[in-house]
Amino acid sequence: MTDLSAAEPVPQGALARLMRRKLAVLGLVIIAVVVAGAVLAPWIAPFDPNDQMFDGLTLEGAPMPPGGKFLMGTDLLGRDLFSRLLYGAQTSLVIGVVANGLALVIGTLVGITAGFFRGWIGGILMRFTDLMMAFPALLLAICLAAIFQPSLWIVAMVIALVNWVQTARVIYTETSSLATRDFIAAERTLGASTSRILFRHILPHLLPTIIVWGTLGISTTVLLEATLSFLGIGVQPPTPSWGNIIFENQTYFQSAPWLVFIPGAAIILLALAFNLVGDALRDVLDPTQRGRD
């Protein structure tokens, strides 16, 4: 009998294979630039993101266009857009990582519990998951955000509460398959405890899936945070986020389009970058794809 428990969950050379994919490298570069800008914002931002400067507006009181002293122009209050983008990246990344991390933990716990124990436990958990999936994620997030006082951590919690269901469904399917394998039956026959089977045999084989969903989920989280902030129920001003920058300046869409296009492009690029890396990781970590690169 082949011991599938000895199979390598994360293949050696995965990083090298990932780096041979040009789109994945492009995604990693974009992510690195955004992370560097967010981390170094206190040192590289030319102005305080909330500083309303008198020379940040034209004589008519309109935002300054990009160029000169203001690299990306100013907003309707005379604040430097470049500085606000740098600090807004901090907000987007923190919410993306925290909310997606919470969603992964909840989804993995629900999926692995339902898939391994099955029976009435699995039935209740997966029916609850199906019930959550029946609600549109954005609508549910709007309702939850409206109930609680919006803040950075509340927004992260709300996004986590609506994003765990897809992870739970995928983890449930894989766990159900693993639980019926011969090496799990052999472990049970030998008297292995439930915790040993879960942590030594089931969970390691789920790591590739968790890694891929964790990467792809950040892009969804970033987009959802931007949507909530744009609707005015996400991160509240004066704390900058890419979504509320668009929300605050949407009335200047025609006269000062850079105030919408620049943060909008930043959101799209970051979401695209995580999708590129996630898609590449899915192929690299897929056992059926080994040796094809």
Q: What is the pLDDT along the chain (293 residues), one digit of tens a residue?
A: 344 444 455 555 677 787 888 898 999 999 999 999 999 999 999 998 888 887 877 777 788 888 888 888 888 888 999 999 999 999 888 988 899 999 999 999 999 999 888 888 888 999 998 888 887 877 888 888 778 777 788 888 888 888 899 889 999 988 888 888 888 878 777 777 778 888 888 888 888 888 888 888 888 888 888 888 888 788 887 888 888 888 888 888 888 888 899 999 999 999 999 999 988 888 887 655 554 55
- Structural domain contains residue 239: yes
Amino acid, single-letter form, for residue 11:
P
Q: How high is the pLDDT of residue 273?
A: 93
Residue 74 DSSP code: B
- Structural domain contains residue 60: no
- Structural domain contains residue 64: no
User: What is the rounded distance in angstroms from the CA atom of residue 244 to the CA atom of residue 259?
Assistant: 11
Q: Domain with 269 in it: what CATH number? A: 1.10.3720.10
Q: How high is the pLDDT of residue 4?
A: 44
For the residues of 55-73, what is the DSSP string, one character each? GGB-TTSPBPPSBTTBTT-
Q: How high is the pLDDT of residue 5?
A: 46
Question: Nearest 5°: CA angle at 198, between 182 and 207?
Answer: 95
Q: How high is the pLDDT of residue 292?
A: 52
Residue 236 belongs to domain spanning: 13-42+77-289
- Structural domain contains residue 99: yes
**What is the b/e burial string over 129-140, where b = at least 16 CB atoms within 10 angstroms of the residue's CB?**
beebeeeebeeb
User: What is the rounded distance in angstroms from the CA atom of residue 249 to the CA atom of residue 63?
Assistant: 10
Q: How high is the pLDDT of residue 211?
A: 87
Q: How high is the pLDDT of residue 289?
A: 53
Report whether 208 contacts 201 (CB < 8 A): no
- Structural domain contains residue 71: no
Q: How high is the pLDDT of residue 1?
A: 38
Paired tokens of 251? 């009335």
Residues forming a β-bridge with 74: 80
- Structural domain contains residue 256: yes
- Structural domain contains residue 62: no
Report whether 189 contacts 181 (CB < 8 A): no
Number of structural domains found in the chain = 1
For the residues of 89-130, what is the DSSP string, one character each? HHHHHHHHHHHHHHHHHHHHHHHHHHHHH-HHHHHHHHHHHH
- Structural domain contains residue 3: no
